[in-house]
């Protein structure tokens, strides 16, 4: 009898243990976790991001997405390479990875994401293996991730040791998670995704993370803290200000700390400085000056007494070059934005452009040391020159100068395309519409010598022959100046000075 009772107790305990184990296992795998690589500014990501971060999250309350944005947060970019090496996921974006598999590209993701989520719970696929979100130690996540769920987001701001932070994503009572932690109520920041921004109603900063959510706010246990001080003057691309946080260590008192941020517009200022340098190189290109000189000579030869034709023809020619180069610039920028789908290109693009600038600089310096007409990538090839001269010799009016200027621009490309391609690559990081003002500035600088020569000849300060002679006499020095500027800019881009 005693043996039967003991056996019954043992069976009961085994059943209880099994039920508990099944319950815990079910709880650990209830969430669907996805790793998502994207880039703000990627045209394919713009098709997917709003669907993933708005529609899909709202439809699936158990979905958790660990996002790695690689364009704005460059430290996330190497992780894409690491994931490809471990899981052969590819180097394109957008890329979403589930335990069941992965999808890459806008159309496959949009067509299959709901099917994958509805297939069942998914562990988080990490570089060191797969883990449920409950077992995940988010402070060990590499890079700078953002963690999304239905109406909440966790943003990694700095290193942290608090292992309970992730519970903010799954618990209803925030105060239970925050008990004993230092946190401060902050102004919610707009979260940039490709194509738009997502706003949240509430935000706190806690132990290296920023937590934002929609819904009821929480009351601070601290007395009313002062408003943050104004940002300091920008120094070395950084600005600082004094902020305050609610500290549990001092019995919930307001404690001041220094906050740093990147200066607004600093990146744009650096971009404009690089564009001006590249445009200056393009502007002193002997090739473009030679074409303009030949055109003015043709106009003067046809009607030497009509100086008005000189002015109108020069302006018409410069205008046509300006318009055509603006179109070329938009095409170059769009090309770079399209190939950025191959994200490995985006990761190394800036340094590749820097190396290209150094090569163009060396070629120009070579022309100073040992000049040879028609140098590769620095002047118009010799075989093109007779054809260009033949076309230019037929110009008899400002209207003709405008039309021929459009055609001649094609022949200008081989000797001016280098700096312009580098400029287009730099601008490709911005939305296409936002690149128009910098392109206008670039091309205005590019045609500036054409305008100056036109007015100098029109006003009689110099003859066309004098301009042509000055260009031939100083052609080696022009190459040297262009070479030094290009090489210095390229070196600065490669080593990270600009």
Report helix, strand or coil for 485.
helix
Please tell me the distance from the alpha carbon of residue 141 to that of residue 421, in angstroms, as a whole number: 37
The CATH class, in words, for 30-218 is alpha beta
pTM equals 0.56
pLDDT computed for residue 345 by the predictor: 57
Can you give the residue ranges of every domain in the chain? Answer: 30-218, 220-263, 266-495
Q: Regarding beta strands 32-38 and 63-69, do their DSSP bridges make them parallel or antiparallel, or are they unpaired? A: parallel
Positive or negative: CA dihedral 360, 362, 365, 367:
negative
459-464-469-471 Cα dihedral, nearest 10 degrees: 80
pLDDT computed for residue 27 by the predictor: 39
pLDDT computed for residue 6 by the predictor: 54
Cα three-residue angle 466-471-477, rounded to 5 degrees: 140
Contacts of 161 (CB under 8 A, 6+ apart): 139, 207, 208
Say whether the peptide bond before residue 425 is cis (omega within 30 degrees of 0): no
pLDDT computed for residue 347 by the predictor: 57
For residue 59, how many other CB atoms are within 10 A of its CB?
A: 12
10-residue stretch averages of pLDDT, the chain, 498 residues long: 55 50 42 91 86 92 92 84 91 91 92 90 91 88 92 86 81 78 80 88 86 83 71 66 73 76 56 84 73 71 70 87 90 79 58 82 84 67 70 72 76 68 82 87 90 84 68 77 82 70
pLDDT computed for residue 95 by the predictor: 94
Crossing angle of helices 77-87 and 343-369, rounded to 10°: 120
Which residue do the tokens 């033949």 mark?
390
């Amino acid at each position: 009898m005693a043996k039967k009772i003991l056996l019954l107790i043992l069976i009961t305990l085994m059943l209880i243990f099994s039920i508990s184990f099944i319950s815990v296992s079910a709880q650990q795998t209830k969430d669907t976790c996805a790793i998502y690589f994207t880039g703000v500014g990627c045209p394919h990501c713009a098709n997917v991001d709003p669907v993933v971060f708005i529609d899909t999250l709202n439809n699936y309350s158990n979905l958790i997405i660990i996002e790695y944005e690689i364009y704005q947060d460059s430290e996330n970019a190497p992780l894409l390479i690491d994931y490809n090496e471990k899981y052969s996921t590819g180097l394109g974006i957008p890329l979403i990875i589930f335990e069941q598999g992965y999808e890459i590209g806008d159309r496959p993701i949009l067509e299959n994401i709901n099917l994958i989520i509805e297939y069942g719970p998914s562990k988080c696929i990490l570089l060191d293996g797969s883990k449920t979100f409950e077992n995940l130690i988010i402070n060990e996540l590499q890079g700078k991730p953002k963690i999304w769920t239905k109406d909440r987001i966790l943003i990694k701001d700095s290193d942290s040791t608090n292992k309970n932070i992730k519970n903010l994503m799954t618990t209803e009572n925030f105060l239970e998670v925050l008990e004993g932690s230092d946190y401060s109520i902050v102004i919610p920041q707009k979260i940039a995704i490709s194509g738009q921004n997502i706003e949240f109603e509430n935000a706190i900063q806690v132990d290296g993370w920023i937590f934002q959510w929609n819904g009821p706010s929480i009351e601070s246990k601290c007395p009313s803290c002062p408003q943050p001080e104004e940002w300091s003057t920008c120094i070395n691309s950084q600005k600082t200000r004094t902020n305050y946080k609610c500290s549990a260590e001092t019995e919930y008192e307001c404690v001041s700390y220094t906050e740093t941020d990147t200066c607004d517009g600093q990146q744009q200022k650096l971009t404009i400085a690089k564009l001006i340098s590249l445009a200056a190189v393009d502007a002193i290109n002997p090739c473009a000056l030679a074409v303009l000189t030949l055109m003015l000579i043709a106009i003067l030869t046809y009607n030497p007494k009509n100086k008005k034709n000189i002015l109108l023809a020069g302006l018409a020619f410069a205008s046509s070059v300006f318009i055509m180069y603006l179109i070329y610039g938009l095409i170059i920028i769009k090309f770079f934005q399209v190939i950025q789908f191959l994200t490995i290109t985006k990761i190394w693009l800036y340094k590749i452009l820097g190396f290209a600038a150094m090569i163009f600089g060396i070629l120009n310096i070579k022309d100073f040391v040992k000049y040879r007409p028609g140098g590769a990538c620095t002047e118009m090839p010799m075989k093109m020159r007779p054809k260009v001269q033949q076309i230019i010799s037929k110009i008899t009016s400002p209207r003709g100068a405008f039309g021929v200027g459009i055609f001649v621009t094609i022949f200008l490309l081989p000797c001016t395309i280098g700096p312009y391609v580098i400029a287009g690559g730099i601008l490709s990081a911005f939305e296409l519409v936002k690149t128009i003002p910098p392109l206008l500035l670039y091309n205005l600088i590019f045609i500036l010598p054409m305008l100056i020569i036109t007015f100098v000849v029109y006003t009689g300060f110099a003859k066309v022959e004098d301009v042509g002679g000055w260009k031939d006499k100083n052609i080696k020095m022009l190459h040297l100046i262009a070479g030094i500027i290009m090489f210095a800019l390229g070196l600065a881009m490669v080593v990270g000075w600009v």
